[in-house]
Amino acid sequence: MLKKRRKSNLSVLMVTSEAVPFAKSGGLADAVSALAQELDRSGHDVRILMPRYQGIRRDSLYRYPTPFSVRVGQEIYTTAVYEGRLGDSSVVVYFVDHEELYAREGIYGTSAGGYPDNLRRFSLLSHAAFAIGAFIGWEPEVLHAHDWPTAIVPVIAQRRAAIGAAKPATVLTIHNVGYQGTFPVGELPHSGLSWIDLSESQLLHYDSLNLLKAGIVNADMVTTVSPQYATEIRTPRRGFSLDKVLAARKENLVGILNGVDYDVWNPEKDPYLDAKYTPETVALKDRAKHTVQSELGLPITNEMPLIGMVSRLVDQKGFEELASPGFGALPDILESGETQVAILGSGEERYEYYLRTLAHRYRNLSVVIGFDERLAHLIEAASDFFLMPSRYEPCGLNQLYSLRYGTLPIVTKCGGFVDTVEPASARGGTGFFIEEACPSAISEAALAAVGMWHSEHGRIDTMRRAAMKLRFGWEKAAPSYVSVYERALAAVRS
Ligand code: ADP
């Protein structure tokens, strides 16, 4: 069995459906692992609990010899627990190994939709957070849940405390309030919660079970991934119907900006780049530009800028406004003839199809459908501008990578973008804002950036250098989480 180094300070169990490098569908997976490692470096005892999905190989993990039993309401699940480490850190990761529920290809579902038994799957994980302590002989002071899959952790903690169990402090982080974990009321028994929890002040929301809502109501502290988003989700426009619930927790809702792993996203040592570069040698970006132009079949030229995108092709990311037949902004941008556009992404079929159609029509557009880590790095380095016309953006990672690569973001005025990008002005700036996520505003902002590239290249250069010097590391975010844990612990003790 792997031995865990004994530490002082806080003990925290992250309960999560995703963590890199084991399972990732989006920014949540990056955030959980990076935060855990940063807290570990600061001396806290942080561990992770997650499912063992099919893709997580057992042969490099330690298997506990005894079966692990978890009661979820009337049902008792018998599973195995595996243990591994997060990279070369001392963060221990516990995997709940339930063949029937977790040994599948997807995390949440397939391209046809979510798995029909998701409530069972993630309720088991949430209840396992309470059973694992006695099993491994380690009781964390803080349980940190992430998004809807583990949002009932705070609810379970409250219910157990009501019948005399010790209560750990609970923290819920909302990475995206657009995904709430809603299920038909009849599925309640699968959650292991009782009919008493089925009230408007708890699980029930517009005639459905709503896991995220129940988590927000019951957590000692709630966080989200940028200060601006913490404000926005308390408004009807961005709260996805949970604005009032969130507003009621205003005093205990904190926005903490996600960080970037600069070991991975750094043009000075990026292994995918032939020519690494610094703010002083930013002109070397052109080498990456030529590589991308040549690999993606775009004309090789320095005479026009390149706008890059790496994204899930979904409504949230602004693709309806950018790439809908007869309506989107992209043809407008391309027909200016003044810029090239390179898009890497996968997602909704209608966007994949239409983007491919446009790429056939316009020589200055190249589209790659798929998930490609190397190309994502190359596009970051090669592009002059990075376009993110999101309808809403809790934090956003790509604009942070872009800044480090001297690639000026063109972003909607919302969420994490507001906290991280400074609009171009006489004083400088690091990017460009799209006033509203609508086609005319998208093309206006993109063409303004392109115009500046053609007519005021010196200004673009100054902005690039300023952007490259900014840092959004986890060493800034982690102490804010420690403060949140301490507030949650104080709330439990009071
Ligand atoms: P979200 O988590 O909402 O998708 P973020 O900007 O916070 O958006 O994070 C997205 C992450 O996924 C980034 O690291 C981005 O580079 C990566 N990514 C998205 N689509 C692709 C793709 N097609 N190929 C490679 N990486 C991708």
Residue 167: alpha-carbon gap to chain centroid: 28
Tokens, residue 320: 């309806």
Say if 173 falls within a structural domain: yes
| pLDDT value of position 138 | 97
pLDDT bracket for residue 151 (50, 70, 90)? very high
Distance 23 CA to ligand 1 centre (A): 14
265 and 381 Cβ atoms separated by less than 8 Å? no
Q: Which atom of ligand 1 is nearest to the CA of 258?
A: 7
Tokens, residue 239: 């709260």
Q: From CA 469, how far away is CA 488, in angstroms rounded?
A: 35
Q: Is the pLDDT of residue 7 over 70?
A: no
Question: Furthest-apart CA pair in the chain: how many Å?
Answer: 71
Q: Are residues 90 and 187 in the same domain?
A: yes
Alpha-helical regions (H) of 22-152: 27-41, 99-102, 118-136
285 and 468 Cβ atoms separated by less than 8 Å? no
Average pLDDT estimate for 257-263: 92
User: What is the DSSP secondary structure assignment for residue 399, as one 8-state letter?
Assistant: H
- R_g of the chain computed on alpha carbons: 23
Q: Give the model confidence (pLDDT) of 86-107 as tens digits.
A: 988 899 999 999 999 999 999 9
Say if 6 falls within a structural domain: no
% of the chain exceeding 70 in pLDDT: 98
pLDDT bracket for residue 6 (50, 70, 90)? very low
Q: Are residues 314 and 178 in the same domain?
A: no
Distance 310 CA to ligand 1 centre (A): 6
Distance 428 CA to ligand 1 centre (A): 28
Q: Using a 6 Å CB cutoff, which residues line ligand 1?
A: 26-27, 310-312, 344-346, 371-373, 376, 395-398
Query: Which of 354, 338, 296, 356 is CA-nearest to residue 449?
Result: 338
Q: Is the pLDDT of residue 427 over 90?
A: no
Pocket test for ligand 1, best of 366, 368, 398, 472 (most atoms within 8 A of CB): 398
pLDDT bracket for residue 338 (50, 70, 90)? very high
Total count of domains within the chain: 2
Q: Which atom of ligand 1 is nearest to the CA of 373?
A: 25
Average pLDDT estimate for 339-347: 96
Q: Is the pLDDT of residue 108 over 90?
A: yes
Q: Give the model confidence (pLDDT) of 173-206 as tens digits.
A: 999 999 999 999 999 999 999 998 999 899 999 9
Pocket test for ligand 1, best of 33, 312, 391 (most atoms within 8 A of CB): 312
299 and 364 Cβ atoms separated by less than 8 Å? yes
Say if 133 falls within a structural domain: yes
Helix/strand/coil for 41: helix
70 and 113 Cβ atoms separated by less than 8 Å? no
Q: Give the model confidence (pLDDT) of 448-474 as tens digits.
A: 999 999 999 999 999 999 999 999 999
Please give the C-alpha separations between residue 142 and each of 13, 52, 153, 479, 487, in angstroms, as whole numbers: 6, 22, 11, 15, 11
Q: Give the model confidence (pLDDT) of 363-394 as tens digits.
A: 999 999 998 999 999 999 999 999 999 999 99
CATH assignment of the domain containing 459: 3.40.50.2000
Q: Are residues 61 and 139 in the same domain?
A: yes
Residue 323 makes CB contacts below 8 A (sequence gap 6+) with 330, 351, 354, 355, 358
Mean pLDDT of the chain: 95
| pLDDT value of position 113 | 86
Pocket test for ligand 1, best of 262, 368, 373, 397 (most atoms within 8 A of CB): 397
Distance 344 CA to ligand 1 centre (A): 10
Q: Is the pLDDT of residue 166 over 80?
A: yes
Domain coverage including residue 140: 11-259+475-493
Q: Which atom of ligand 1 is nearest to the CA of 30?
A: 14
Q: Are residues 442 and 351 in the same domain?
A: yes
Q: Is the pLDDT of residue 347 over 50?
A: yes
Q: Are residues 198 and 321 in the same domain?
A: no
Average pLDDT estimate for 53-80: 97
Average pLDDT estimate for 410-426: 96
| pLDDT value of position 1 | 43
